[in-house]
Amino acid sequence: MNTSDNHYLNLVLEGDTKAFAALVDRYKDLVFTLANRMVSTREEAEEVAQDTFLKAFRSLSKFKGDAKFSSWIYRICYNTCLDHLKKNKRKPNTVAIDDITEAEVKTLESALEQLEQKEYQESIKKCLRQLPDDEGYIVTLFYFEDLSVDEIATITELSKSNVKVKLFRSRKKLFGILKKELNVSVN
Amino acid sequence: MKKTDEHIDTFTKKITQDAGLETPSIDFTAMVMAKVEESTISSKATTYEAPISRNMWLGIAASFALIIACVLLEASPKESGILSSINFTFDYRFSLPKISFSKILGYGLFFLVLTFMIEISLLKRYFERSIS
């Protein structure tokens, strides 16, 4: 566990509630990003992220120091997203998985290179949000947070092979979404 | 094919990292902390206490003992008690009206009670889940 996380956790457990704000500040962007890639709208993601921190605060005494605080909070966030999806409308799962050729990858890369930095980032964010169910969540944990398949399996309570399959499918789906979004055609 | 998969893997890593993180509203931390403070106050407010305090139980026990003592004292064979003036002889020779239930009514009542009990347990579980 990160030493600073531990320091703030001890303060909170000793009764200094305000010390929790430091942990919220530290993880809010990532928790919000993860939630935003699983639920439909930004407002819902904000609500889910707030609930995640509230749940974490309430069950802080149950947190075992042998796991990373970050992994623990990602797990709470994942479960809160699932609860939210159960109650609300899910994102449509209609992304096709097509075979991709080397030429297509290169064409898409050059199409992205032509975009302005801000436009480039916005396009990718938009496409990541379009990944159905928990795929955007898993992709972010694997490729952005550099978590291993084992760690993701623990967070999501899925089997390792299931996580691998989801990663494989999401890569292809993300590619298809980007191609459609940028209107790229390969001859 | 394997080379293409590796290329897509590298490509996905690059774009996911380039996308960076998204930021919630400016007052996000303040809103979370307000909820946290609220939950701390409400958890203090809902600290459960026994509806009947220890002193009240002692009072109840003392008054109960006093009543029993009075009854026992009055029950002893004395001519000058308050109870001796009351005539306790009672004529028990009366008959209750015979009520008969049909089998269908019996089954109906049985299943009504059964449904009620199942519903109570299901509702209890539902509310416990929604609270936790």
Predicted local distance difference test score (pLDDT) of residue B102: 86
User: pLDDT for A21-39, tens place per residue?
Assistant: 999 999 999 999 999 999 8
CB-nearest partner of B18 from A30, A54, A121 = A121
Q: What is the mean pLDDT of residues A90-117?
A: 69
Predicted local distance difference test score (pLDDT) of residue A159: 93
Q: Do A21 and B12 touch (CB under 8 A)?
A: no
Task: Please give the residue that has the higher pLDDT: either A96 or A51.
Answer: A51
Q: What is the mean pLDDT of residues A6-25?
A: 87
Asked whether A163 and A149 are in contact (CB, 8 A), the reply is yes
Q: What is the mean pLDDT of residues A84-111?
A: 71
B-chain residue closest to A52, CA distance: B32
Q: What is the mean pLDDT of residues B82-99?
A: 67
Chosen for mutation from A117, A121, A165 (greatest number of chain B CBs closer than 10 Å) is: A121
CB-nearest partner of B8 from A46, A57, A105 = A105
Instruction: Write down how long chain B is.
Output: 132
Interface of B with A (CB under 8 A): 3-4, 7-9, 11-13, 15-25, 28-29, 31-33, 35-37, 39-40
- Name chain A contacts of B42, Cβ cutoff 8 Å: none
Flag whether the ipTM exceeds 0.85. Answer: no
Q: Do A105 and B4 touch (CB under 8 A)?
A: yes
Predicted local distance difference test score (pLDDT) of residue A25: 92
Predicted local distance difference test score (pLDDT) of residue B84: 64
Q: Do A105 and B29 touch (CB under 8 A)?
A: no
Predicted local distance difference test score (pLDDT) of residue A17: 85
Whole-prediction pTM: 0.67
Q: Do A50 and B35 touch (CB under 8 A)?
A: yes
User: pLDDT for B102-113, tens place per residue?
Assistant: 889 989 999 999
pLDDT band at A142 (very low <50, low <70, confident <90, very high): very high
Alpha-carbon distance of A96 to A85, in angstroms, equals 21
Q: Do A121 and B20 touch (CB under 8 A)?
A: yes
Measured CA to CA in angstroms, residue B103 lies from A128, B97, B130 at distances of 65, 19, 40
Please name the residue that has the structure tokens 């600073």: A4
Q: Do A24 and B11 touch (CB under 8 A)?
A: no
Predicted local distance difference test score (pLDDT) of residue A68: 85
Alpha-carbon distance of A187 to A183, in angstroms, equals 13
**Chain A: nearest CA to B65, how far in angstroms?**
47
Predicted local distance difference test score (pLDDT) of residue A187: 45
Alpha-carbon distance of B83 to B74, in angstroms, equals 7
Measured CA to CA in angstroms, residue B53 lies from A61, A97, B63 at distances of 30, 68, 16
CB-nearest partner of A20 from B25, B31, B36 = B36
A132: left (phi over 0), alpha (psi -120 to 50) or beta: beta
Domains of chain A with CATH codes: 3-87 (1.10.1740.10), 102-181 (1.10.10.10)
User: pLDDT for B3-47, tens place per residue?
Assistant: 777 788 888 888 888 888 889 999 999 999 998 888 877 666 555
Between chain A and chain B, how many beta carbons pairs sit less than 8 Å apart? 98
Alpha-carbon distance of B39 to A56, in angstroms, equals 12
User: pLDDT for B52-83, tens place per residue?
Assistant: 788 889 999 999 999 888 887 766 655 555 66
Closest CA to A49 of B25, B132, B20: B25
Asked whether A96 and A169 are in contact (CB, 8 A), the reply is no
pLDDT band at B89 (very low <50, low <70, confident <90, very high): low
Q: Is the pLDDT of residue A80 over 90?
A: yes
Tokens found for residue A63: 């947190």
